[in-house]
Amino acid sequence: MKAQDINFNASWKFYNAEAEGAEAPEFNDSDWRNLNLPHDWAIEGPFDIKYNARSGGLPFHGTGWYRKHFKMEADAKGKVVRIEFEGAMYNAHVWVNGEFIGNRPFGYIGFEYDISKHLKYDGSDNVIAVKLKPEDLSTRWYPGAGIYRSVWLKIDNKVHVGQWGTYITTPTVTKDLAVVQNETTVVNKSSESVEVKVNHEYFSPEGESVSFIDETISVAANTSGTSQLFSKIKNPKRWDTENPNLYDVVTTITQNGNVVDTYKSRIGLRSIRYTKDGFFLNDKPVRFNGVCLHHDNGALGAAVYRRADERKLQIMKSMGVNAIRTSHNPPSRELLELCDELGLMVQDEAFDVWKMEKVPNGYNLFFDEWGERDLKDMIKRDRNHPSIIMWSIGNEIIEQKDKKNGWKVAKRLNAYCKEIDPTRPTSAGFNHYSSPYDNNMAQQVDIAGMNYKPTHYVDVRNNYPELPFVATETSSCTSSRGIYHLPIEKYRVHESKHVTSYDLIGPVWAYPPDIEFHYQEQNPHVMGEFIWTGFDYLGEPTPYGGRDNSTNGYWNDDWPSKSSYFGAVDLCGFPKDRFFLYQSQWTTKPMIHLLPHWNWKGMEGQDIPVYCYTNCDSAELFVNGKSMGKKVKGKDLTELLVSFNDYEGETFQSKYRLSWNVPYKAGDIRVIGYKDGKPVQEEQIFTAGKPAKINLSVDRTEINADGVDLAYVTVRIEDKNGNLCPMADNLVNFSVKGAGRLIAVDNGNQISVESFQANHRKTFSGMCLAVLKSSEHSGTITLKATSKGLKSKSVTVQTK
């Protein structure tokens, strides 16, 4: 980014319908809605069965128009003025002052246009108009709609650093020395050849200058030139998952002794390599404790808020996650910056489809014309991020079964990746075995991705012994937070349209996390896994509504099921029980988790299965103070009901869960975890009484007064003693005063069709969520929550 780049998000006009002639500057938009970007019109709803539950049951398709009026200062005349859209969903058409500038179909990739010749610099009105036309049946999940990422106005001198203008690599990184290579593209839009000096100064994570280098290059008129320089940094502070050290690079372009452009890049000094036996970061073996993430943020929709992505990633880190797969499209700039800062490795994925369709109006319609450009632009945009450790050219591509041409397309896309960035391996997610291997498709990428094939890991090693591979999608276990169905059964769907949190239900390809843990242990050459998914997301309400990849349209048979059950965390960011099962495998700090709740009125004396997830050596369960015995992890097994594709048998003896069957009696259950024979962790669950009060907690008590920062408020319904009421569904009303407003509410209930933008919400399993956004004025935001018959509660957030 450059200091002179202008954030262009404020004061747009919006109209959600056809508007003939709206590209013309004289068009009357006075009655259009005023708003700031980023904006997702579809998340505003309403939910309706006439929309596709597969895409969230929300009105994401149709026509949307955006217009912005602005003035250009006279001193910008003669300079280069560009407009950059980081993402517009989708099939964007752009006009400036009535002149058509360009079209970009793919909603997940950024693009820019030089608009210098189309502007007026005399103080009169300029108008940018953008028409978006998302299609129904164009996606397999909720894509959002609108200009949902940021827009920038860039004003540069004739000589400047181009779009995504630095490409910085680290061909050598050791504890003693880093060699940093910087290729910088200098654009000359003038009519004369120029001679410029290119300077790079490198700053340590502490802000100290550690290297400075420059060279002089010539750039012919109306062309671009490349400066190639390398620097040496002694005793580098390397980037890794535990210490994500970041260096700043300031590139300065000087012409005739005058600075004409300054460009800032952020990098991490790290090395990556891979073999058939594993992945290495800074020469240390690392396994991917990874998750797949869709781009939406639940009640906020697809609109990009940096804090929303930060919170999502922080929650994943606390689960033990060290890697993210951007399923199944290019992510936002903010998400990658946050992964850099938090130390999360990224598989950056380009496409969910190539030429062969999954849904009738999908990206396959644009692939021939735009596939190369979109893939190359993604890599150019993202290649300086140290967090990115591989590129993915596709997910579950239908061409896997095309013996004649599928491998050729993969080969071509792989070549594009290597052309733009030869420093990282390529991958793709294959959900068939053995066709992509037999058809020479898996061999076209550096690291083959396997989706839901744990029983075939040994086959791939035996049949293709030199082929590195990673589990790019695993488990697909489904659940609804706080819901427990008894007796424990392996059902396909449940009449409640919820899924039990005993963590064993999934579609035909799916299996409990324990299965993947087992086969990963048995096959240490597998680089690790990316679970499906870290968070619930909007759309694809499997196991309800339909089947993946079906092209017959709508998934509304089980309405109102309209969002994912796959996440280890629900749409609100509240952990499900499965979160703690992964945490027990992926973290070392002593932890313990107990389930289910202990409110089973009417079942007195009946056996209740009690599960414990822990990384302790052993655990002891107490019911109303009486010991139910100590269980040893890895020795005392829990039998799970299991059936999925390619698996023989109907049960699995899991060493990853401890369990007891105990007769229910109101009171409490408590579990104590032991390490080396000593108690180190415990958890206690009480039988809750009647709902008596609301409790509020906020993730941050101080946020930025910048008009975009967020505070997340967790709402709990509790009894008089402060115990969560696990079946409470009380309606909670919200009121806000001060320097901010309420922008979203949710409860994580996959079958709720309450508005995300109301000032009230029912609780689900005793909880709901309110999201506050700051204004641009410092002060305080006070949220008050009330509910009939309950003691109310308020919480205050400072904005600075």
Amino acid identity of residue 398, one-letter, is I
Strand residue runs (E) in 235-363:
247-255, 258-267, 272-275, 278-281, 284-286, 288-292, 323-325, 345-349
Residue 361 burial (CB count, 10 A): 14
- Whole-Å CA distances, 254 to 124, 164, 251: 33, 19, 10
Amino acid identity of residue 608, one-letter, is I
Q: First-to-last CA distance in the chain?
A: 25
- Phi and psi torsions of 420, nearest 5°: -90, -35
Distance between CA 482 and CA 499 in Å, rounded?
10
Distance between CA 648 and CA 640 in Å, rounded?
14
Strand residue runs (E) in 268-360:
272-275, 278-281, 284-286, 288-292, 323-325, 345-349
Residue 191 burial (CB count, 10 A): 8
DSSP 56: T
Class of residue 548 by CB neighbours under 10 A (exposed 0-12, middle 13-18, buried 19+):
middle
Amino acid identity of residue 754, one-letter, is E
Pick from 752, 754, 673, 745: nearest CA to 712:
745
Residue 256 zone, left/alpha/beta (φ > 0; ψ -120 to 50; rest): left
Cβ–Cβ < 8 Å for 154, 1: no
**Which residues are marked as active site?**
396, 473
Distance between CA 317 and CA 321 in Å, rounded?
5
* Interior/surface letters 205-223, b for 16+ CB within 10 angstroms, e for the rest: beeeebbeeeeebebeeee
Distance between CA 236 and CA 255 in Å, rounded?
32
